[in-house]
Chains A and B, each alone.
Chain A
Amino acid sequence: MKLNDLFNLTFKTIFQRSTRSWLTIIGIVIGIAAVVALNTLGQGLKVAVNLQLGFLGADLIQITAGKQSASFQAGPGQNPLASTFLNLPTAGVLTENDLSAIKNIYGVKAANGIVRGNVGIYYNEQIFTTTLNGVEPSEWVEVINYEIGEGRLLQDYDTYVAVIGNAVAKEFFSKEIRVGDSIIIEGVSFRVAGIIKSGAGFGLQDSYIFVPKEQARRLLPDIGSNLVSSIEVKVVDSTIIDEVEEAIAQRLRTLHHVSEGNEDFTLTSSKTIQERVNIVISMITIFVSGIAGIALIVGGVGIMNTMYMSIMERTREIGIMKAVGAKSRDVLLLFITEAGIIGFIGGMIGVFFGFVGALIGAEIISVNLTSNIRLPVDIYPDMMMLSILFASGVGIVAGYLPAKRASDLNPIDALRYE
């Protein structure tokens, strides 16, 4: 049989039995679309998370009270994820004394001591509880990795002035808070000087309120007058972050009279956060790959099933071809070509719908997120090519078995096949 006759006959068959062919193709489309959609979304998730991490800045160190660091380097036999999330910090405090010591360390550009606690905010006859951050304005503006959206940041001479997160302004109350409005925090009136732009970093600042530290201490009397909740440090250059981190740790150990390994404080640089997040990302990747793998198997079995049925019911047709002088090889070639073409068409349509599905999925995820983080949906040609190849391949493999079986029959047995 000649090649053009082979394709000619195959396409005639596919189009003449279009309903059956399309049903087979749909079976393949579903499998491939699921795989492509899941993979595209999974990749998008990774890209989105990495993008968000980029906003954290590579030159920041956060110091919190209590020991947490054992979890960062999991010991042998220890599940790194479990220790990351389950290790509770030991007791410990940070003081104003620690803060001024850190400010004097070489390589520290700014150090912001924060007094943090939950407060009730009264506005438009509604009360909402959120996190209050008392900061040192001149240091705060240096260490932040987010920008002001409206109004201005805090300044050193400010009294009873607040800067609020985007969500506080726009979502917490039925009436939007604007720059210049007054809000009541724990019974004290503050004027809103600025609203932070939404979305950077982890987006925590979206629901935060920032006021000068002295006023925060009055609103949060439970925090000792000499204590700070955490300290944020910015180093002069991100290349020396490791050295500065070590210098801070050494100074704090001396001040707290603790030895190395028994610290009652925790240093977290954006680097360590990245490490932790990477664990989460790899977990997500494994999860998504697992689902995609299952979808692939289901899709593959579906392709095999439809192809097998489609050829079994045509055993008589194979008998006809053999009766008029088709070699077994010709018959095999015809059916394998058909199976391959159907797999290929199904794969292409599946890739298309998978991509559309990923777009819709990303849209749904974005709508459900409070901040305006978007899941990027990109075209991954390798993955798409592989999916089409897989569909064609599985089609051929699935077509081979029944076609081989039928072409090996005596023509008369194939003709008699019901």
Chain B
Amino acid sequence: MEKEAVIEVRDLRKTYYLGQTKVHALRGVDFKIYKGDFVSIVGPSGCGKSTIMHILGLLDTPTSGDIFINGQKASDLSDEELTFLRNKNIGFVFQFFFLSPYLSAVENVQLPMIFSNKSENERKKKAEELLKKTGLSDRMHHLPNQLSGGQRQRVAIARALSNNPTLILADEPTGNLDSETGREILEVFKELWNQGNTVVIVTHDEYVAKKAKRIFRMLDGKIISEVKGEELDRKVIKELDTQNHKKKKGVK
């Protein structure tokens, strides 16, 4: 039985100009992500992994190529319809959290629900529930600047989940956190996946990438390989293990 593709991209290309320089961020990317997938996109900085994430999250538009979300072609949709999809189907977690600085944790989590016209009671209940789930029940009424990086990212994750999206996208969610906190956040994503969510994480950290079920390796705007999480070659695993060993030693 053919699995249901939550998102599919075909020959995705993106070119932009940085001053006078033409930058080919994406040079033809194809893949399908299925319901219940846990995908990591990994590669060195500048390989186009963030660009693809923004396009998947409907935050940016490709120069050419198609994206299908639940079988719907994104380029056929109006701005209003895209916004609707972004609001209902996609939960986005950013490297720099991007919380509204004027709203408390619980209010930030409610923001997507405000824009989808949920009632105040429903919103509050859901936001509190999500913050409890992400381990922030004692920080609900703090402003972002009163929270640590890890706590902010937990708020951002709770916000991403607030409208029960079919797809959770995380762009370097641990990139701005120390390794300990990063690992904790990663566990949150893994737990979300275990609960049946579809998760895509962009990272340059092999340790983070390894946790996923499918790993896309990117280089210079193309996916150069796709491996299953378990199929990581022994060399990489060994390397990671020694790295982790060192890190653990360093911490403790």
Contact = CB atoms under 8 A, between A and B. Distances in A.
Contacts of A326: 83, 87, 111, 115
A317 B88 contact: no
A262 interface: no
B138 interface: no
B59 A412 contact: yes
B17 to A, nearest CB: 13
B98 A325 contact: no
A145 interface: no
Given A328-B79, A328-B83, A319 B102 contact: no
B15 interface: no
B59 A5 contact: no
Of A316, A322, A412, chain B has the most CB atoms within 10 Å of the CB of A412
A5 B100 CA distance: 15
A9 interface: yes
B98 A322 contact: no
Contacts, number: 76
Interface in A12-26: 12-13, 16-17
Given A412-B54, A412-B59, A320 B100 contact: yes
Contacts of B116: 325
B101 interface: yes
A411 interface: yes
Nearest 7 A-B pairs (CB), nearest first?
A325-B87, A16-B102, A412-B59, A411-B59, A324-B112, A412-B60, A412-B54
A317 B100 contact: yes
Query: In this complex, which of B54, B61, B107, B117 has the most chain A Cβ atoms within 10 angstroms of its Cβ?
Result: B54
Report which residue of B87, B107, B114, B163 has the largest number of chain A beta carbons within 10 angstroms of its beta carbon. Answer: B114
Interface string A28-47: 00000000000000000000
A50 B54 CA distance: 71
A323 B86 CA distance: 7
Given A324-B112, A325-B83, 13 more contacts: A1-B117, A9-B103, A9-B114, A16-B101, A321-B100, A323-B86, A323-B98, A324-B115, A324-B159, A325-B86, A327-B115, A412-B54, A415-B59
B84 A325 contact: yes
A186 interface: no
A404 to B, nearest CB: 13
B233 interface: no
15 contacts: A9-B114, A16-B143, A17-B102, A317-B100, A323-B92, A324-B92, A324-B115, A325-B86, A326-B87, A327-B115, A330-B115, A410-B59, A412-B54, A412-B60, A415-B59
Contacts of B101: 16, 317
A316 B117 CA distance: 23
Given A17-B102, A316-B98, A412-B60, A12 B86 contact: no
Interface residues of B, number: 31
Contact of A1 (B79, B115, B159): B115
Nearest to A13: B102
B130 interface: no
B57 A323 contact: yes
Contacts of B120: 5
Contacts of A257: none
Contacts of A327: 80, 83, 115
Interface string B154-174: 000001000100000000000
A410 B99 CA distance: 18
A36 B120 CA distance: 42
A60 B120 CA distance: 77
Contacts of B115: 1, 321, 324-327, 330
A320 B112 contact: no
Contacts of B80: 327
Interface string A303-326: 000000000000011011111111
Interface in A329-359: 330
Nearest to A2: B117
Contacts of B83: 322, 325-328
B54 to A, nearest CB: 5
A18 to B, nearest CB: 10
Contacts of A5: 114, 120
Interface in B47-99: 54, 57, 59-61, 79-80, 83-84, 86-88, 92, 94, 98-99
B59 A325 contact: no
Contact of B112 (A13, A317, A325, A328): A325
B59 A323 contact: yes
B127 to A, nearest CB: 13
A103 B103 CA distance: 88
Given A1-B117, A2-B117, A412-B54, A12 B103 contact: yes
A316 B102 CA distance: 13
Interface string A375-418: 00000000000000000000000000000000000111101000
Contacts of B94: 323, 415
A320 B102 contact: no
B26 to A, nearest CB: 14
A410 B61 contact: yes
Contacts of A324: 86-87, 92, 111-112, 115, 159
B94 to A, nearest CB: 8
A9 B117 CA distance: 14
Nearest to B159: A324
A317 B159 CA distance: 15
Contacts of A17: 102
A1 B114 contact: yes
B60 A12 contact: no
A320 B98 contact: yes
B107 A12 contact: yes
A371 to B, nearest CB: 57
A120 B116 CA distance: 90
